[in-house]
Structure 1
């Protein structure tokens, strides 16, 4: 009889260990999913360089939510086509974008676009 009690006790401990291991695995998977989602969200985040902030202020350019949405959409399209350093032209302004880092590098108002030369860009998109 004592032997069978030990076997049942060992079986219960084994089941508890398996349950804890399964819970730990589920926790790790959940943590990984959260981390992955956080990185995906960060990938969609648009950054603005210090230089671009200065240009926006100096040129009195206002980037509202619609403008951000346009830039975000443009970056996605440029990324699909392999763009790296790109010119994005909207109805309000033009922006040089570092596509890989989702960063607005500089901003140019519509008046200044004329007779301006843009160098070191590999792609351009015009969006309205």
Structure 2
């Protein structure tokens, strides 16, 4: 009886996927990681989007690139919450999440005291 069991081939052997399936899975994994990295660079919270619209702050590709660069620099310095601003707008950004928390116009910047930030960046 032992001879019959040991002569059965393929029992206990690992199942091998075809090379095409491995390549497709690797391609999907690569694309997924790329998309996640792109999406993690910077995003606006719902509140920040609403504030930007209400306050007439134009959110375009150039601004997104500036904010993304700002977040990368702040991460390198170990900052967690920053104020990124220029003469026409200001943004509070949570650096670890890469998320803009709120957006402000110049009038609002004059009246505000910014707390709970550990860095400021001029755009």
Whether TM-score is above 0.5 comes out as: yes
Which stretches in structure 1 are left out of the alignment for 5+ residues?
A: 1-16
Q: Distance in 1 between matches of 2:53 and 2:25?
A: 45
In structure 2, relative to structure 1, the CA distance for the partners of 1:26 and 1:54 (3 Å cut) is closer
- Three-state SS of the structure 2 residue aligned to 1:57 is helix
Q: How does 1:95-114 map to 2 (within 5 A)?
A: 95-114=91-110
1:33 aligns with 2:51: no
C-alpha RMSD of the superposition? 2.2
Larger Rg, first or second structure (1 or 2): 1
Q: Distance in 1 between matches of 2:55 and 2:24?
A: 50
Please report the TM-score for the alignment, with normalisation by the length of structure 1. Answer: 0.71
- Three-state SS of the structure 2 residue aligned to 1:114 is helix
Which runs of 4 or more aligned residues in structure 1 lie more than 6 Å from their structure 2 counterparts after TM superposition? none
Deviates more, 1:109-118 or 1:96-105: 109-118
Please report the TM-score for the alignment, with normalisation by the length of structure 2. Answer: 0.74
Aligned partner of 2:48 in structure 1 is 52
Per-residue deviation, 1:31: 2.2
Which stretches in structure 2 are left out of the alignment for 5+ residues?
A: 1-14
Q: In proportion to residue count, which structure has more helix? A: 1
In structure 2, relative to structure 1, the CA distance for the partners of 1:24 and 1:57 (3 Å cut) is closer
